[in-house]
Amino acid sequence: MTAARDYLPTPPPTRYRRRQKATPTRTYQSVAPKTVTRRPSESRSKVTRLPTKPKRLPLALQFLLLVQKSSTTFTCGLVAITLGVYAWTVYAPTLWSQEFSKLKTLQRNERQLTSTNESLKHKMAEQAEQPGSSLTAPNPHQSIFLAPTEVPVIEISEQPQKKHKIPVITETPVAY
């Protein structure tokens, strides 16, 4: 029993080894392990066993841990919401200013188109008033009125009954 306690399966640390000269390897006849005596400085320390059953925490400490977990979760949620609101307050005005600039550009283009349209109408009216234009003022007696034509009504006859078709079987495949 004492031999098993004193047996070391691994060599001692390098600081305790003595330097050996290069010698040919030795072959041992016995298979039994050698007993190693320990120095007083290498004595083993006493090992205490840990309890196998974990002790339950007091109820007040469990309550405090629950409060800590819930407040941590709540704080993380508040931080996420705050970052979302902050991002929205920064993003929304930027988006609004972009859309507002588009609106101003569209309004300016509309005014330019309206003024161009009116100037073209004015030029056409001036050209119509010139003597060599061969345009005359509209006269209701010179107007041509066309009578509406009757559109023939297309009658939908009953669909002929579908005949049962016989499937055509070919000798070669049509498709895959």
For the question of whether the overall pTM of this predicted structure is more than 0.75, the answer is: no
Look at the chain and count its residues. Answer: 176
Of residues 139 and 11, which shows the higher confidence score?
139
Residue type, 118: E
* pLDDT for the residue 97: 92
Rounded Cα–Cα distance for residues 20 and 127 (Å): 123
User: 82-140 pLDDT, tens per residue?
Assistant: 999 998 888 888 889 999 999 999 999 999 999 999 999 999 888 888 888 777 777 88
Closest CA to 8 of 34, 32, 31: 34
Percent residues over pLDDT 90 in the chain:
31
* pLDDT for the residue 33: 60
Task: Tell me the mean pLDDT in the region 72-90.
Answer: 94
User: 147-169 pLDDT, tens per residue?
Assistant: 889 888 888 877 666 666 777 77
Mean pLDDT over all residues of the chain?
79
